[in-house]
Amino acid sequence: MSRPAGRPSADGGFVKEIPPKDAEFSDWYTAVVLKAELADYAPVRGCIVVRPYGYTIWELMQQGLDRRFKATGHTNAYFPLFIPQGFFAREAEHVEGFAPEIAWVTRGGGAELTEPLGVRPTSETIVGHMYARWIRSYRDLPVLINLWNNVVRWEKATRPFLRTMEFLWQEGHTAHRTEEEAEAEARQMLDVYRDFAERDLAIPVLAGRKPESEKFPGAAHSYTIEALMPDGQALQSGTSHNLGQNFARAFGIKFLDSDNAEKYAYTTSWGVSWRLLGGLIMVHGDDRGLALPPRVAPFQVVIVPILSGKERDAVLEEARALARRLAAAGVRARLDDRTEVTPGYKFNDWEMRGVPLRVELGPRDLARRQAVLVPRAGAKDTAALERIEAAVSEALEAYGTQLFHRAKRYLDEHIVPASTMAELVEAIAGRRGFVRVRWCGAATCEAALRQASGASPRVIVDEAADGACLACGAPGTQVVYYARAY
């Protein structure tokens, strides 16, 4: 992928360094990541350095999720990065699914290790080991723990945030007394992810169950939220898994129930990663760069004073007062009082970085006791200085709603029904988005649909299957959305 370079001109001509989104989507994405200073390439292949602006977005995403996790009774903990090799062998389906991606440590301090250590690809195994030590009675249940950590998966093809060898995420791990409780937990956390994606990130998603072929290794049922990117490909944006008793049996997570019988617990796991940040870039960005929803924007407002003439000092003082007032109102505001660049440069710079709202203040505005409010790439409006807090709040809310509705229109317009195999193949080849398919549930029919279309079944939704299976013609029992995916 190409890397944009060079210093922007004073008039904001740096936007020319970002390729057109529609024509050069992959290069556009990379250019935005680098130009907006979200991340840079690390010296290790497949790894990135997350720069402060990008990490602040991730921190705000963490906060939005963490509030939701704690509101549903979960607490945070930390587990080690290194996992003994023997742990991976205890759950056969799990180890088979992750084996190609595990990085191994075989030497430490110059000596060969007696047992190789896997670098955490996910934590079900070590969590299971510890839960078996901690859980003794039904009174110890449920255990509701979330982890904020990094994991390593030895990927072949990588792209910043979307697929890297090391990435940041959260992974929830819970243990329950009954199958019904575990199922309710898995579905609840899927709803949490959907709410976060749509409210905080303004990304509409399809939510439902994964088919057997796509479920998490070792899970009884897997659930997913799927977003649609502007190139017509799906992005798996969060998953939640009912693990049944598979890991409990493998690791001996047992408890004495109230009937004095020893039973295996039921467990779940669920997670989202900074892949959602990549989705955020793709869904909302444009030819001018980032476009950030207010809830996760490092700066929700940038204040640009127009410093000229004899009112220069008065304008700057009022701009500083505005920044203090907005900060006191809980708004993440940035005062851009740089003098070495023009106002036009500042406008373009902050628009490229995706700041939702710009507040301009010049001598004439000061005389009229007003400020100019400009949503990113939107029309100018004015607001009285006396009610600037309320006006900014309203403008931010309107902008976030606008982003969501624009993305929702795109999603709705790119859900294509297919009543024949030929229609499925044509829609996938044309990158038209999600293709709605009726399916009988047979694995042989799924394999035929995959082979013919080159796409995968992303999510089974709770809709009536009003017709025949595309592959075999038998009555459809499920509705599945197919797409190519990241």
Note the pLDDT of residue 9: 40
Helix spans in 306-441 (H): 312-328, 343-352, 363-368, 388-413, 421-429
- Residue/partner pairs of 179-185 with CB below 8 Å, 24 or more apart: 179/244, 179/266, 181/142, 181/266, 182/242, 182/243, 182/244, 182/266, 182/267, 182/268, 183/221, 183/242, 185/142, 185/144, 185/242, 185/268
Query: How far from 139 is each of 134, 142, 258, 353, CA to CA, in Å?
Result: 11, 8, 9, 50
Note the pLDDT of residue 470: 96
Cα 280 from Cα 136, distance rounded (Å):
43
Residue 137: Cβ within 10 Å count: 10
Cα 113 from Cα 194, distance rounded (Å):
43
Beta strands across the sheet bearing 111-119: 82-84, 111-119, 103-108
Residues facing residue 460 across a β-bridge: 209, 480
Cβ–Cβ under 8 Å, residues 44 and 153: no
Cα 170 from Cα 236, distance rounded (Å):
15
Burial of 395 (0-12, 13-18, 19+ CB in 10 A): buried
Q: What is the DSSP string of 346-360?
A: HHHHHHHTT-SEEEE
Note the pLDDT of residue 91: 72
Structure tokens at 308: 């000229």
Structure tokens at 60: 């705000």
Cα 232 from Cα 414, distance rounded (Å):
8
Q: What is the pTM of this model?
A: 0.94
For tokens 């990927």, name the residue. 155
What string of pLDDT tens digits covers the 486 residues of the chain? 333 333 344 444 556 689 999 999 999 999 999 999 999 999 999 999 999 999 999 999 999 999 999 999 999 999 999 999 999 888 767 667 778 899 999 999 999 999 999 999 999 999 999 999 999 999 999 999 999 999 999 998 899 999 999 999 999 999 999 999 999 999 999 999 999 999 999 999 999 999 999 999 889 999 999 999 999 999 999 999 999 999 999 999 999 999 999 999 999 999 999 999 999 999 999 999 999 999 999 999 999 999 988 999 999 999 999 999 999 999 999 999 999 999 999 999 999 999 999 999 999 999 999 999 999 989 999 999 999 999 999 999 999 999 999 999 999 999 999 999 999 999 999 999 999 999 999 999 999 999 999 999 999 999 999 899 999 999 999 999 999 999
Note the pLDDT of residue 369: 98
Any idea of the CA torsion for 371, 376, 377, 383, to the nearest 10 degrees? -20
Cα 445 from Cα 301, distance rounded (Å):
52
Position 131: which residue type?
Answer: Y
What are the φ and ψ backbone dihedral angles of 103, each rounded to 5 degrees?
Answer: -90, 135
Domains of the chain: 36-284 (3.30.930.10), 299-402 (3.40.50.800), 415-483 (3.30.110.30)
Cβ–Cβ under 8 Å, residues 345 and 12: yes
